[in-house]
Every structure is written in C-alpha cells, then in structure tokens.
Amino acid sequence: MTEHLDRLTPRQIVFELDQYIIGQNDAKRNVAIALRNRWRRMNSPADIQREIIPNNILMIGATGVGKTEIARRLAKIADAPFVKVEASKFTEVGYVGRDVESMVRDLVEQAVGMVRTQKKEEVKIKAEQAVEDIILDALIPPVHGSAARIKTDNGSDAMPEDDAELNQRTRERFREKIRNGELDSRKIEIEVQQNQAPSVGMIGGSVDDVSMMNIQEMIGNMMPRRGKKRKVTVEEARKILLDEEASKLIDMDEVKVEAIKKAENLGIIFIDEIDKVASSRSGGGGGPDVSREGVQRDLLPIVEGSAVNTKHGVINTDHILFVAAGAFHVSKPSDLIPELQGRFPIRVELNSLTEGDFYQILKAPKNALTKQYQAMMESEGVELEFEDGAIREMAKIAFEVNSEVENIGARRLQTVMSLLLNDFMFDVPDVIGADSHIVITAEMVSEKLSHLIKNRDLSQYIL
C-alpha cells in the first residue's frame, strides 16, 4: 500500500501541486510533509507505529484561494480516499443536520470503490475472455441435436469431428472479428443479472444509517438474483458484461478488508467552513452557539481517534488525516473549543490572490481556464488563441472586481471568462464554422468587460 508513496518526497509532492495550484507555498509544504509522514509512519518499527499520530492541518484563508484544491490534489497524488464535508451540515443533528460519523462512512465507500476498481483492472484480461465466450455463444450457439451427434464405443454422445472442427474454426474467426470491432453494431441477446433488493422502511422507532444499510443489504442478499434478457449491440454487451464478469472474479470480502486498511492509513477528510461552527466567546451562552459547540464536540472524538461502524466493517480514525479550513472573517481559530484546536496543531494562513497570481492561474496550470476553453473549442474544430496582453487584462479586471465587490478569489475568473467568451460559445458551430481561428486580444477584453469596472452595481456578476 505504501509503494506509491515511496517516490513522493516532500519536494516531489510540492512539484506535483505546483502543476495545478499557483502560490500558497507554505500550505503546500505543510501538506507535503503531512503526506510523507504517512509513509514514514508505515515504515517505522511496528511497536511505535500506533503511537505516531497525524499532524492535522487548519487552513485559514478567504474563499477561492486554493484550500479545497490543495487537499483534493493531495489525495489524487497519494491515490488516497478523499471526502470533503461542510461543518455547517452537522448543525442541529437530528433535525436538519447530518451525523458526523457519516463523513467516515463516506470515506470507506470511496476506499471500497477505489480498491474494487483496482481489483477489476487486475482481472480485466480474464473477464474480457469470459465476455468474448458469452458473446460468441450468442452469435454462434454450440451445435446441438441428434443430427450432429454420434455414439462413441462406450455409448456416450460425441459431436462428429468435422462438425466440431467447423464450429471451432467459425468461433475463432468470429472471435477475431469481435476483437477487431467488426461486429460492434450487430445485435445480440444477452442475460443480465439483476438484484431484486426491495426498498425497506421502518415503522415505530428510529434506525441509524448503518443499521438501515445492513438491513437493506441482508434482505437484498436473501432475494434471488434474476436474469433479464436484453437485446443490445455487441459493443454495448461488451461494456455491460465486462463489469459483471469482473465482479464475479474478485473477492468482495478481500476488497472490504483492504479498503478499510486504505481508508485508515491513507484517508483524507477535508472539513470546510469550520469557522461556521466556531462559537463566539463574547456571546451569552445560548442560542445558535450551543448548536455550534455541540457540532465541535461531536467532531472531537472522530478527529481524536475512535472506532466507527460502517456497512463494510469497523474503521479506526486514529490515523486518518483531517484538514480543516475556514475564512475566519467573523470568528477566530481561538473561538473553537480548546480540545478541537489541539487536534489541528499545524496552522497555515493562505494569502489572498494578487493580480499576478490571477495571470499565472489563467496561464500556467495544466487545467488553466484558458486551456479548458481551447479544448472545448477544439472539439468543434475551432482554434482559440489568447494573446498575452488579453490574459493580463482579464487578470486585472478579475482582481479589480474582487477588490470592489465581495472577494471570491480565483472563482471570479470563471465569471470573467464566461462573459468574455459566451458570444463565441453560442455562435459555434452555426455562425463560426470549423477550421476558424479566433484570437482574443487585450482590446477585445477591455471592450467586452469594461462595464464590469464602471458599473458599481455588480451584484448580478457575483457567483
């Protein structure tokens, strides 16, 4: 499980994050160290492994500066299960809120999905062979009937040798056609397994989520699986049957055990809007602050380390990495209860984005907005080009709008790009045909977006 982490040194992790996130070097360094520490812990002597706890991180910064993106990219780099939750969803549990343990159950579901996908990839070749045989049987049924059979010396039935050879040669010829995609459009009839799991409702008493899931699964397993015949093309049949055959080849009990281990040792839970549940110390002691402090106390045992029941088994949260984030405009980190503060020892303040940062965000990352729009236009056969001056002008306008209205960080660039290019996106391909070449200049940006700066009533442009 740690093989993938072997090559991920802190410097390499920061380098990977730099491909998608501009600036915020302090935050990148801290998450890189936290990720590498996981490899260090799992490669430490067994008697000390359980004692090494993760250094959970509290990110402080305005919206749109990259807090969520850093955590999400970190999980992708580490091939780790990742769940993002908003702390405010846990307020008033029992009325409109969610149980805090649900985030751990979601993490396990993510891990099960990742391990299942990995296992299916391992048995893909065997599954493809099984699918080929099913499709062949549908295209060329085995030869049956008395006319095609002879009696052997011991009295058993056997197919005449010439018929058997002919059938086998035909099947091999068709197998090649299937592999080459020559029969993809031909219709065949296949049988697809369906699980007749009924919807279950409970009357009388409240049932927690885990119990309800277990009841549903138990009843679903008791019900017989029924096959449903469908007429589909060979191409569609291959997709439908491949997943079914791969599932038959993997051991789900092994998947669950491995998934829980993966979630326990590599899982990352990102708790956003943690500042929304911070209680104001100057307040009275009643009202909404009670609910907020209650959420913090519910979160505390999960972050400290506890056993949580899931439909796949019990998971210990001791070594899950928790990353909390908040803007802390109204409240302060010190408004969190001391016990929860202590569980996030690493604090990182993310910088507000500058005009230069916006320019780099539009130009440098692998998933830059300019590259996204170019890819979409390219799918229509249209070449879209941004002059450097145009990118600088867009960055300038986005920064000025953020300064004059509510600062929503890099998300403002989505507004700017959308307003700039909507006319082109509408005209392609009806008015602007394939093989066209569109050049976005600084003058064009100024002309189309100048009203954003001049108009003081900018509420319609706030995302």
State the residue for tokens 């927690």: 208
Confidence grade of residue 288 (pLDDT, cut at 50, 70, 90)? low
pLDDT at 425 over 90: yes
Question: In this structure, are residues 303 and 270 in contact, taking their beta carbons and an 8 Å threshold?
Answer: no
The tokens for 176 are 């090649």
Mean pLDDT across the chain: 84
Nearest to 347 by CA among 366, 330, 334: 334
Q: What is the pTM of this model?
A: 0.80
Residues 80-103, mean pLDDT to the nearest whole number: 78
The tokens for 227 are 């096959």
Per cent of the chain over pLDDT 90 is 54
Confidence grade of residue 2 (pLDDT, cut at 50, 70, 90)? low
Residue 289 CB: number of other CB atoms within 10 A? 17
| The most confident of 230-234, 273-277, 387-391, 444-448, by mean pLDDT | 387-391
Q: What are phi and psi of 129, to 5 degrees?
A: -65, -40
pLDDT at 66 over 70: yes
Rounded distance, CA 109 to CA 114, Å?
9
Residues 38-58, mean pLDDT to the nearest whole number: 92
pLDDT of residue 453: 65
State the residue for tokens 């008015």: 431
- Between the CA atoms of 172, 176, 177 and 181, what dihedral angle is there, to the nearest 10 degrees? 150
Terminal alpha carbon distance of the chain: 41
Residues 434-456, mean pLDDT to the nearest whole number: 85
Rounded distance, CA 101 to CA 297, Å?
12
Confidence grade of residue 193 (pLDDT, cut at 50, 70, 90)? confident
The tokens for 456 are 């003081």
Q: What's the maximum distance between 2 C-alpha atoms anywhere in the chain?
A: 99
Question: In this structure, are residues 361 and 410 in contact, taking their beta carbons and an 8 Å threshold?
Answer: yes
pLDDT of residue 149: 47
What H or E segment, with its residue span, contains residue 440? strand 437-440
pLDDT of residue 35: 92
Q: 365 preceded by cis ω (within 30°)?
A: no
Nearest to 428 by CA among 374, 362, 387, 388: 374
Q: Give SS3 for 266.
A: helix
Domains and their CATH numbers in the chain: 3-118+259-349 (3.40.50.300), 124-149+159-249 (no CATH), 355-457 (1.10.8.60)
The tokens for 105 are 């159950």
